[in-house]
Chain A
Amino acid sequence: MDLYREEILEHAKNPKNWGEMENPTVKVQTPNPLCGDVIDLFLKLEGDPPKITEASFKTNGCVVSVASSSMLTEAIKGKKASNVLKLGEDDVLSWFGGTLTSSRRDCALLPLKALKEILGKAIIVG
């Protein structure tokens, strides 16, 4: 099983940045309409132009969406919001090394969708 290789499973079993955040700048809850799973994403933004200083998440989702959330939150911490907005679907999919079948892509892309939703709002507000 390529998809469930060591690195991905490690992220799923011991996800980075797991849990609710106290006093986040922004938070969002995004459902995956295909399976009903839900992801909660929390961000703390500081500075002008805004920078992501903290990111965390919680989800009842599968290995793929947990690992993706874990890797995504790691990848965006300390980055400028404007740069994070440039992250594309291909970037996220590349973390899985082309092992995702088309029905599982949505699981991997759910956290990115949540992130785009929340950042869009944050920047308008900010």
Chain B
Amino acid sequence: MLNADKIRKDFPILSQNVNGKPLVYLDSAATSQKPAVVIGELSRYYSKDNANIHRGVHTLAERATALFEGVREKTAKFISASSPKEIVFTQGTTEAINLVAYSWGKANLTSKDTVLLTIMEHHSNLVPWQLLSKELGFKLEFIMVTEDGYLENPEETIRKVKPKLLAFVHVSNVLGTINPVKKLSKVAHKVGATVLIDGAQAVSHTSVNVQSLGADFYAFSAHKMLGPTGVGVLYGRRDLLESMPPFMGGGEMIREVSLDKSTYKDSPHKFEAGTPNIGGVAGFGAALDYISGVGMDGIKTHTEELTAYALDSLSKIDGLRIYGPRNPEDHGPVIAFTVEGIHPHDLATVLDGEGIAIRSGNHCTMPLHKHFDLVATARASFALYNTKEEVDKLAEAVLEAKKVLGA
């Protein structure tokens, strides 16, 4: 395990009481907390370097541009992309997926094609495809999920459906399932599919190598990996990005504009119309540095141990049911559960009274909840700053909630 006392000191928000109790933050899957170096970088950037990028020749503009492009390089290294040109900055995972849908999708999908998703997708990797399928008439098919939270016969389904695009989540934000990206990408490529991975819940605690995973597109959000809100990343294989039309039109993305037509910059700039979240990207750079400083291997081991410990202690509670793989090796640091006789919202409210922040609801996965015949679940998620003591507090508070609510 990591030295939690030391790490927790880096996160100013954690040292507060909530409802009179020390804050136990178990909602990092929704958004992670930010270390002081990230908060400090936002302030430093706006105090020292702030200028618009790619537009000026003055010193500040050059500094801001170098900073922004430097983070692009850092990001490329972080996920082992072959070039910074494969990194497009977006607002988040949602915009990154929409970019693929509206740029790649519109140029490549027709009414004869099929897009294959899974029923464990976050709405952000479902709704854009529904919208586009209405427009273009392609078919949407889904890989189902087994009772214990694994994809059901994914390889057979890919071979049978022969999709033009296979898009699925790397780590489920509800079941915690770590999907076999490498294996499935290989099968998908054999049938000629392009592969888009939603990595929103993976990048914070796993070393991601987009090339060895075989991802053609890989989307994620800075705010779930210690960075600020409003910044996301779309990785796209260079030849794919080069062949794609722009997503939005505006400044920053053009080479030459006349009244009747324009020519565009090369990717990634072609996809970054308008002034981007420069300050946020600076903060994201600090987050990447922080993660590298702690070391991804250490973070991975830490969150794996917490998850195994939590799976074990929660499953001992009478009437508590966990959704998702029981084998901790297949389970990212996200645990969805229900307690018999208690509505998840009530559970979350009682826990909040104890200073414990968990999420309740459908976590933007209504089809998945419906599949398990559920309206809502409670969800606890862990990051590098959480401890086993906090997991103990969670388990104790669930028992207390059962008492209070008489379940």
- Give the interface of A toward B (CB within 8 A): 1, 3-4, 9, 13, 34-37, 60-64, 101, 104, 107
Contacts and interface: CB of A to CB of B under 8 A. Distances in A.
B369 A36 contact: yes
A62 B361 contact: no
B265 to A, nearest CB: 41
Contact of A63 (B343, B366, B375): B343
Given A13-B406, A35-B362, A35-B375, A64 B350 contact: no
Given A1-B353, A9-B406, A63-B405, A36 B362 contact: yes
Interface in B376-407: 376, 404-406
Contacts of B405: 4, 9, 63
Interface of B is mostly: helix
B346 interface: yes
Interface of B: 343-346, 349-350, 352-353, 360-362, 366, 369, 375-376, 404-406
B349 A101 contact: yes
B366 A64 contact: no
Contacts of A37: 343, 375-376
Contacts of B376: 35-37
A62 B407 CA distance: 13
Contacts of A63: 343, 346, 405
A101 B375 CA distance: 21
Contacts of B352: 101
Nearest to A13: B406
Given A35-B362, A36-B362, A60-B375, A107 B350 contact: no
A37 B360 CA distance: 12
Nearest to A4: B404
A60 B376 CA distance: 11
A21 to B, nearest CB: 23
Given A35-B361, A35-B376, A104 B349 contact: yes
Contacts of B369: 36
Contact of B346 (A34, A62, A101): A62
Contacts of B344: 62
Contacts of A35: 345, 360-362, 375-376
Contact of B375 (A13, A36, A107): A36
A84 B344 CA distance: 31
Given A4-B404, A36-B366, A64 B346 contact: yes
B349 A3 contact: yes
21 contacts: A1-B350, A1-B353, A3-B349, A4-B346, A4-B349, A4-B404, A34-B361, A35-B345, A35-B375, A35-B376, A36-B361, A36-B366, A36-B369, A37-B375, A60-B375, A61-B343, A62-B344, A62-B346, A63-B405, A101-B349, A104-B345
Nearest to A37: B375
A37 B375 CA distance: 7
B366 A107 contact: no
Contacts of A1: 349-350, 353, 404
Given A3-B349, A4-B350, A63-B346, 5 more contacts: A1-B350, A35-B345, A36-B375, A37-B376, A104-B345
Contacts of A9: 404-406
B93 to A, nearest CB: 22
